[in-house]
Amino acid sequence: MRCRLASLLILATSLGLHAQTADQNQPSTPTLQVQSQLVLVPTTVETGKGEVIYGLKASQFITEDNGVRQDISLEDTTNDARPLSLVVVVQCSRSAEREFPKLRGLATMITALVGEAPTDTAVVQFGTGEELLSGFTRDPTARDRVLSRLAPCDDDDGDTIFDAVDYANTLLDSHHTPGRRAILLISETRDHGSETKPQDVIRALGRSNTVVDTVSFSPVKSQLVDEVEHGPPPGATMNLIPLAVMAVEAARKNAPKEFAGLSGGEYINFTTQRGFDRSLSTLANHVHNYYLLSFVPRFPADALGSHAAAPGLHRLSVKIPEYPSAAVRHRESYWANDIVASPAK
């Protein structure tokens, strides 16, 4: 299994035809409901000792969307030819200055993460604003040259993580290259001074299936945030408004951790040189040993006969009954697209 980093958006179309209820003076008008969304769920499975469990089949996974079990497929993750668009985002403000000597292995880390896949990489640094150091390039030598020039910003003291991730996601939107999308974020844990609202970033990432992998440091050496609860009790109904609020509040406390969890990326926190080096090894190992589950959301029919997912934030859960003690890490949520209805032709 190869490079999870960033197992990303694959669009599929689910068509549902139903007749609108009309009054007695008007003929019924067929409408076409279109939901263009295939949800990808990167998942790693390990024993309690941290050993990867290989060889699982799709039938061994139980994946639920807001408590409703979904029919899943298991994608092939061994194909190195799948293109990848990657934006490396590095905080350079004063609070990050003492961390820069620890980032010497960044170029090597990225090379290990992308493997042999054709990769377009852009590099962004941010303090109180975003600066594009390099547009998308497929030349690894040019990429490494830019990464080697990363340095602290002059007199900046901003950790505008929401703005930076939104900027990176917009770069990916404008790149228009098919394939996987990923952001590698290196920053402290808390946002300070962003103009972009966290809920807008969460919505944009969830719609595009952009994976965010994060390597974070904390000036106060604290992780700060507990894990967000995973879904409702069996048989309970999920209320989407509190779910979105929980995600926003978690992002305000630890933005990198929340973005990684929501998107299916990896979150690693370090405080020392040894910790950073160990983080690189752990991240590379995880992104090369994963399962990529996928499904088109389908729910019990509503009053109009639609089986589509309700628009908004959805919570995901993945279980493997045959391995009850396994450590299962997976994408925690996605943002369901609005349903587009139009007259059928």
The average confidence (pLDDT) of the chain is 76
Residue 287: what pLDDT? 64
Whether 226 shows a pLDDT value over 70: the answer reads no
pTM of the prediction?
0.73
User: What's the CA dihedral at 141, 88, 86, 4 to 10 degrees?
Assistant: 110
Structure tokens at 280: 């690189």
- The backbone torsions φ and ψ at residue 257, rounded to the nearest 5 degrees and listed phi first, read -65, -45
DSSP structure class, residue 319 = E
The per-residue pLDDT for 153 is 81
Q: Of 287, 311, 326, which residue sits at a domain end?
A: 287
Q: Is residue 9 part of a domain?
A: no
Q: Are residues 202 and 322 in the same domain?
A: no
Structure confidence by residue, pLDDT tens digits, 136-162: 999 999 999 998 888 888 656 668 999
DSSP string, 286-303: HHTS-EEEEE----S--T
Give the per-residue SS3 of 133-189: EEEEECCHHHHHHHHHCCCCCCCCCCECHHHHHHHHHHHHHHHCCCCEEEEEEEEEC
Place of tokens 């700060």: 224
**Same domain for 327 and 272:** no
Residues 123 and 240 in one domain: yes
Residue 255 lies in a domain: yes
Tokens found for residue 329? 């890490």
Are residue 196 and residue 150 in the same domain, yes or no? yes
The residues that bridge with 38 in the sheet, in sequence order, are 10
Whether 4 is covered by a domain: the verdict is no
Per-residue tokens: 317: 């859960």
- The residue among 241, 260, 287 that closes a domain is 287
Both tokens of residue 150? 């990363």
pLDDT in tens, 97-134: 777 777 777 887 788 777 777 889 999 999 878 999 99
| 294 in the same domain as 274 | no
Is residue 282 a part of any domain in this protein? yes
Q: Residue 262: name the closest of 183, 179, 197 by CA.
A: 183
In a domain, 220, yes or no: yes
Evaluate whether residue 8 is within a structural domain.
no
Select from 287, 302, 324 the last residue of a domain: 287
Task: Check whether residue 128 and residue 275 sit in a common domain.
Answer: yes
Q: How far apart are CA 112 and CA 114, in angstroms?
A: 6
pLDDT of residue 79: 54
Same domain for 244 and 303, yes or no, is no
Are residues 91 and 138 located together in one domain of the fold?
A: yes
Q: Are residues 296 and 230 in the same domain?
A: no
Determine the average pLDDT of the residues in 276-284.
Answer: 68
> If you average pLDDT over residues 196-218, what whole number do you get?
84
- 280 and 187 both lie in a single domain: yes
pLDDT (tens digit, 9 = 90+) per residue, 5-63? Answer: 334 333 333 323 333 334 444 444 444 444 558 888 888 898 888 788 989 999 999 99
Does pLDDT of 297 surpass 50? yes
Cα distance between residue 8 and residue 10, in whole Å: 7
User: Which residues are within 8 A (CB) of 127 and not within 5 positions of it... i.e. 6 or more apart?
Assistant: 91, 92, 93, 94, 153, 156, 157, 158, 160
More confident residue, 288 or 162: 162
Number of folded domains in the chain? 2
Residue 1 lies in a domain: no
CA distance 198 to 165: 10
* Shared-domain flag, residues 171 and 61: no
294 belongs to a structural domain: yes
Do residues 276 and 142 share a domain? yes
Q: For residues 199 and 203, give the distance between their C-alpha atoms in angstroms, rounded to a whole number.
A: 6
CATH number for the domain spanning 188: value is 3.40.50.410
Provide the domain limits for residue 50: 14-78+289-343
